[in-house]
Amino acid sequence: MKLSISQNVHLVEPGDFEPTDHWYPRVLNSNIHPLVAYFLNLSHDQMTERYQRLNPMADKEALMKILKYQPTYFRWAGTDLMHVTNHEGNRKLTVIETNSCPSGQKSMPLLDLNVEQGGYKRLIEKTFKPMVEQHPEKGALAVIYDKNPMENIGYAATIADVFGENVFLAKFDKTDQNPPVKFEEGKMFVKNEKEKWEEVRAAFRYVTQEPWNRLPKNSRTLLLNPIEACLSGGRNKEVASGAYDVFNEEFKDKGISIFTPKTFTKVPFEELRKYYDILGGSMVIKVPDSNAGQGVYTIVNEEELDFALSQISKDDLYLVQQLIHSNYLEGLDTSKAWYHVGTIPDSKGRSYAFDLRLMMHATDEGIRPLAVYSRRSGFPLNEPLPEGKNSWEVYGTNLSIKGEDGWTYADERLMLFDIRNFGLLGLGVDELIKGFVQSAMAVYAIDQNAIRTFGEKKANV
């Protein structure tokens, strides 16, 4: 990134991509685990065949329809899953949430050592470029973002290389009173080096903090992803939950479903205590449109419930979910309780909760996996919680930390899918296939919800 041309705008040129700037240092020196590389190269036919072998009631045609699906709005997604088991040892991957601007490239070892831009290049070449080539608008190319500069500068440099032209990289914060980005009649403009507004034909978008405050529906400038994907469940957990319910009803006779923790939506503040009792003295409260681990409260006792209620608004409606536990707790219904499988115990016998972030994208062959990594919690599942620690340290896996100076990341809890780390997770190819199918179903469900809400019209075209 060579040139700062105006407030919060840089000009990124072909040849600017520097690998050391776009991956965590330990990722640069890691080698992808062979099983993970094998999974990423599996065909849809192989995945469908294997998934049906693992789930004999699953309908192969329905599975293939989902994997080969071409989303209208939601063409780049990241799903957070957790590896869970029940008292019978029935292991599953459960969908925790789906994100419309997912991070993950900086945590993903190279699939091919000869392609130094890795997954950045696969996403831009196989998803963004075909969309831009079919888009009739005129103007420049841009990347707009409000966090995660490590990846967004990488995307801008990759777009510059793939298209052979300069790319505007513009920070578009929700609190900026004089932002360098604006929309007029659905067309996006960015401030250039002369402080003039330059029109943009297509933009890669990583605007995650209440993006509906700044991005218009039915944008004439092509956006990956458009705001419709966020509003339909890509950035609202409650809307997503409704989309999953519709999906499960549609496919119930096909032997496939999106598996999530038991979920209640639109819960008023004054009823939260009631759900604490209904769920057996534990639960998760989520602010529906929060992200990056903000606005999520794990609750295992009255003190944590009191604290959560002191932090949230009395006027909002909340999403309440069953907590996935560390192990079986007295009083829980064994037929409905799920527990973390956790990491392989370390030399001290400690096992940690972890999630999987599975990033996928729409290609000409359908939905494909793009990047995958895990994050583990800070405190082990199988040790008693010391005085003064809260349950989030046992169950919370998000690495994002919001400080006074912006966002930082607790990357010491990052679990790479490399030769050194992957074995610690106790996962195999079958779990990765099951997780990918769950993720593809979630993307299908949210995109179908966007079509029901905003129409069949191709986004941005």
Q: Which residue has the higher pLDDT, 304 or 413?
A: 304
How far apart CA 233 and CA 25 sit, in angstroms, is 33
DSSP bridge partners of 123: none
Q: Which residue has the higher pLDDT, 417 or 209?
A: 417
DSSP bridge partners of 169: 10, 143
pLDDT at 175: 92
Split at pLDDT 50, 70, 90, the class of 400 is low
Tens-digit pLDDT profile for residues 267-291? 999 999 999 988 888 899 988 776 5
Tens-digit pLDDT profile for residues 316-333? 889 899 999 877 566 666
Q: Distances in Å between the alpha carbon of 29 and those of 20, 135, 158, 208, 351? A: 10, 39, 21, 29, 26
pLDDT at 288: 76
* Residue 243 · residue 445 · CB < 8 Å: yes
Per-residue pLDDT at 407 exceeds 60: no
Q: What percent of the chain has pLDDT over 90?
A: 77
Q: Which of 8-12, 64-68, 124-128, 386-390 has the lowest mean pLDDT?
A: 386-390
- Look at residue 136 and give its three-state secondary structure: coil
Mean residue pLDDT of the chain comes to 91
How far apart CA 237 and CA 324 sit, in angstroms, is 17
Q: Which residue has the higher pLDDT, 293 or 141?
A: 141
Per-residue pLDDT at 459 exceeds 50: no
* Residue 122 · residue 162 · CB < 8 Å: no
How far apart CA 344 and CA 94 sit, in angstroms, is 19
Place of tokens 């996962």: 427
Tens-digit pLDDT profile for residues 18-64? 999 999 999 998 999 999 999 999 999 999 999 999 999 999 999 99
Per-residue pLDDT at 461 exceeds 60: no
Split at pLDDT 50, 70, 90, the class of 457 is low
Tens-digit pLDDT profile for residues 208-258? 989 999 999 999 999 999 999 999 999 888 899 999 999 999 999 999 999
pLDDT at 238: 87
Residue 24: count of CB within 10 angstroms of its CB? 17
Per-residue pLDDT at 198 exceeds 50: yes
pLDDT at 364: 97
Q: State if pTM tops 0.85.
A: yes
pLDDT at 111: 96
What is the enclosing helix (H) or strand (E) of 242?
Answer: helix 237-250
Take residue 57 and report the two structure tokens written for it.
């009631």
Per-residue pLDDT at 406 exceeds 60: no
pLDDT at 244: 97
How far apart CA 418 and CA 415 sit, in angstroms, is 8
Per-residue pLDDT at 460 exceeds 50: no
pLDDT at 27: 94
Report the pLDDT averaged over residues 374-403.
Answer: 83
Question: Whats the size of the chain, residue-wise?
Answer: 461
Query: Which amino acid makes up residue 422?
Result: F
pLDDT at 157: 97
Per-residue pLDDT at 149 exceeds 90: yes
- Say if strands 140-145 and 76-85 run parallel, antiparallel, or are unpaired: unpaired
Split at pLDDT 50, 70, 90, the class of 387 is confident
pLDDT at 131: 97
Domain residues of the chain, as ranges? Answer: 3-23+108-224, 31-100+236-261+324-446, 267-317
pLDDT at 404: 54
pLDDT at 330: 60
How far apart CA 310 and CA 333 sit, in angstroms, is 29
Give which of 319, 241, 322 is closest to 278, Cα–Cα. Answer: 322
How far apart CA 48 and CA 29 sit, in angstroms, is 34
Per-residue pLDDT at 194 exceeds 90: no
Per-residue pLDDT at 119 exceeds 70: yes
* Residue 369 · residue 39 · CB < 8 Å: yes
Place of tokens 């998934």: 51
Take residue 438 and report the two structure tokens written for it.
């769950």
278 burial class (0-12, 13-18, 19+ CB within 10 angstroms)?
middle
**Phi-psi sector, 331: left (phi>0), alpha (psi -120 to 50), beta:** left
Half-sphere exposure of 347 (CA within 13 A, CB side): 0
Per-residue pLDDT at 355 exceeds 70: yes
Place of tokens 């459960």: 94
